[in-house]
Amino acid sequence: MDIAGALSLIRAIPDYPKPGIIFQDITPMLSNGQALDTVIGHLASLDKESEIAIGIEARGFILASAVAVKREIGFVPIRKKGKLPADTFARTYGLEYGIDEIEIHRDAFAPGTKVTLIDDVLATGGTLEAALSLIADAGGAISSILVLMEIAGLDGRSRIERAAPNVPLHALVTV
């Protein structure tokens, strides 16, 4: 299966989780083994420098952990508040439909470690911007930002480019 075929399995769900939001459901793509393998292979090929793949809860975990396995590097989760057992750094951020808080372990990786940040969707950029701050707090050197899809109308890309001006930002599909 080629990348276009794999990405065509993503479906739009209108008015979820609230009216006016068009949710991009990746579960049909995830449930197709060939599609998932194609997407993970493509993501893994975009950054050969990183030593750690970092995924944001929850769907970013799926992608980042699979990329980590494919590349034989480590995986670090960024979790919602209260889910990590050891000392953490935390950031509050705004979503297109609310406010949330995420955390990373203070000892998630050695200072200076090259990391790639992976998530499913770039919308307004709030989640990724908060994650970039957490990675900086923990001493990481961001080598790339990878997202499955970008929602262009919400202009999150310009926000991320301001927050991480020299870091490559790759989206497999833009809607």
**43, exposed or middle or buried, with CB in 10 Å at 0-12, 13-18, 19+?**
buried
Residue 153 — φ and ψ, nearest 5°? Answer: -65, -15
Q: Is residue 1 part of a domain?
A: no
Q: Is residue 146 part of a domain?
A: yes
Angle formed at CA 110 by CA 124 and CA 92, multiple of 5 degrees: 30
Q: What pLDDT does 21 receive?
A: 82
Q: Is residue 25 part of a domain?
A: no
Inter-axis angle of helices 59-71 and 33-45, nearest 10: 70
Q: At 23, is the secondary structure helix, strand, or coil?
A: strand
**Model confidence, pTM:** 0.94
The domain that contains 160 carries what CATH number? 3.40.50.2020
Q: Is residue 5 part of a domain?
A: no
Report whether pLDDT(94) > 90: no
Pairwise CA distance, residues 164 & 166, whole Å: 6
How many structural domains does the chain have? 1
Q: How confident is the model at residue 97 (pLDDT cuts 50, 70, 90)?
A: low
Strands 98-105 and 74-80: antiparallel
For 27-64, what is each residue's pLDDT tens digit?
999 999 999 999 999 999 999 999 999 999 999 999 99
Q: Is residue 69 part of a domain?
A: yes
User: Residue 71 corresponds to which tokens in the numbers above?
Assistant: 């590349």
> Could you list the active site residues?
59, 96
Pairwise CA distance, residues 23 & 147, whole Å: 15
Task: Give percent of the chain with pLDDT exceeding 70.
Answer: 98
Q: Is residue 64 part of a domain?
A: yes
Q: How confident is the model at residue 18 (pLDDT cuts 50, 70, 90)?
A: confident
For 125-161, what is each residue's pLDDT tens digit?
999 999 999 999 999 999 999 999 999 988 999 999 9
Q: Is residue 15 part of a domain?
A: no
Q: Is residue 8 part of a domain?
A: no
Q: How confident is the model at residue 95 (pLDDT cuts 50, 70, 90)?
A: low
Instruction: Provide the domain limits for residue 91.
Output: 48-174
